[in-house]
Structure 1
């Protein structure tokens, strides 16, 4: 499979995950639910993403990842059509949960295919490009959902996603796949034990903290914009997510940044500091400061993501599918909790307390990176 084809699949898969986010305010009004309840549409998809990837990672050690990707995309297309016709909020949640069960199969298949097909600097480069595609998918999934909703209706965007997913799935080539050899005799428990190494587990923990903060802010951004800055139009809310697109540009610079620092650990530490500073700035009630901080926040998150994803592939002794399954699992565990728990703080205590909670979690991630570096610096440099 050619890399551009894989990247296009990635973009539309991320449309599925993030399209509801700018519409949460609309869903809250349409179905008569509170903001934190509306936010559970994101939690419902991320909960399975927190658990299933590791299982899929074990399954993919002996399966063709492209076949899994094709089936997952066809199922996601069907779920998009179910989402359109769900008559109640409870059924919307059920469909989102089903999407959450299918999404990790697609994500783990894509990262595993890259991990199996490339190595060394090419792995770093292509993983960074793949992460760039997830950023593009996340950005345009949010913005186009808001624009379609404003011009036509929110259901029209889901028809578009379903059509593209099905077409792209059928165009994935049928190729032979050779599973990875010697280690195939290991049991699932043996694979999981390989993920328990100190530095690797701490990077996973830092990734958990990183995405906890990111999912929390982007989930409740529509409500912050409405309540603090009086921005209520879905198209305007969608355009505020433009700061998110800067993350794509920032993530592309990651290979260059890595050449300027002694190791990936140093870069992760520095960017986590910027991430923390941006959260402090997001406490501001001035729109210009808030938007600038949001841009810095998104850029920092994606540089961390672009650095950590290849790093775990380099330091892990487990097969790529298991390593990436563990990464995706920790990543979306943070997202599942971040899309729900901070919303309760926001509802009861407001924007400043909400950001303070995110800052505490972010600083935990920073401490984990420093701890991992001190523990593993003799074996992993750059």
Structure 2
């Protein structure tokens, strides 16, 4: 399978994941629910995303990941069509939960294929390109959903997503040879992940995405309440700072060459990530937008550095390593998409950002601890 085809599949898959985010305010009004309840549309998807990838990783250790990718994309297309016709908020939640059960199979299949097919510099380069595609899918999924909702209806974009998923899935080659690893029990696979450096890196990734999912989930409400921006198209355009993440992630290999080790780069970027959260407490729109741009760039550099690093230092098969990575990543997203919303709902914008800053500093501490735990592996 061509890498370019895989990247197109990734874009449409991330359309599914993030399209509802700029529409949360619209859903809150349309179905008469609170901001935290509307935010649960993201939580409903990220809870299974937090649990299922590790199980899928164990499954994919003995299966062709491209076959899994094809069928999961077709299932996602069906759920998108059903989502567009859902008459109640409860049904929207159910469909988002079903998407959450399906998405991790696709995400783990893609990262497994890359981790198994490429090595050394090619692994770093192609994993970075994959992460760039997830950024593009996340950004354009949010913006197009907001623009379609403003110009036509929010449902119309879901029909576009379904068509893209079906077309991309049907073009995945069927003759690809399955990537099979040595037959071990699930417990033995998991034991291979249980090293201090790997677990601390997973924990840092959890903290990173907790903060990111929280801010992007409640961004429409912050823009409405603090900056009086209510139009869905304007809210979608604010997500343009997200594009800087794509540029930043592409620069990650260059930054790694300039750094002593990936751990040093992660520490520096976590500190920058924390700094942006201080400025995101501002009630000045320009300061907020500049900080948001830096926030997005920092997150994706961390992601682009951590994903290849964990593949290099883990002794487990790529499917298990990446399945666990996706599990920790979206565990942070599941909690971040809901719990900080309660802080925002009761204490406001500044307290919300202060809570995220605390979690980010925990991530920085885990990176530092992971560096010392795996120093010989990563520098020697």
Give the TM-score, by structure 1 length.
0.99
Shift in Å, 1:194? 1.0
Shift in Å, 1:179? 3.4
Q: Distance in 2 between matches of 1:162 and 1:179?
A: 28
Shift in Å, 1:176? 3.4
Gap regions ≥5 residues in structure 2: none
Q: Contact 1:264 / 1:381 at 8 angstroms: preserved in 2?
A: no
Shift in Å, 1:246? 0.5
Q: After TM superposition, where is structure 1 displaced by more than 4 Å over at least 4 residues in a row?
A: none
Q: Distance in 2 between matches of 1:27 and 1:324?
A: 33
User: Which position in structure 2 is the counterpart of 1:222?
Assistant: 220
Shift in Å, 1:280? 0.5
Report Cα offsets for 1:292-344 as digits up to 9, x if no partner.
00000000000000000000000000000000000000000000000000000
Q: Contact 2:65 / 2:178 at 8 angstroms: preserved in 1?
A: no
User: Which position in structure 1 is the counterpart of 2:323?
Assistant: 325
Report Cα offsets for 1:170-201 as digits up to 9, x if no partner.
010112324334x22x1001001111110000
Q: Contact 2:127 / 2:307 at 8 angstroms: preserved in 1?
A: yes
User: Which position in structure 1 is the counterpart of 2:241?
Assistant: 243
Report Cα offsets for 1:213-251 as digits up to 9, x if no partner.
000000000000000000000000000000001000000
From 282, 285, 290, give the equivalent of 1:284: 282
Q: Distance in 2 between matches of 1:290 and 1:345?
A: 19
Secondary structure of 1:379's counterpart equals: helix
Gap regions ≥5 residues in structure 1: none
Aligned-residue Cα RMSD (Å) equals 0.8
Report Cα offsets for 1:73-103 as digits up to 9, x if no partner.
0000000011011111000000000000000
From 299, 302, 318, give the equivalent of 1:301: 299
User: Which position in structure 2 is the counterpart of 1:95?
Assistant: 95
User: Which position in structure 2 is the counterpart of 1:133?
Assistant: 133
Q: Distance in 1 between matches of 2:169 and 2:62?
A: 21
1:1-382 equivalences in 2 (<5 Å) = 1-181=1-181, 183-184=182-183, 186-381=184-379
Q: Distance in 2 between matches of 1:112 and 1:177?
A: 14
Q: Distance in 2 between matches of 1:100 and 1:225?
A: 27
Q: Distance in 1 between matches of 2:265 and 2:379?
A: 11
Q: Distance in 2 between matches of 1:375 and 1:321?
A: 24
How many aligned positions are there? 380
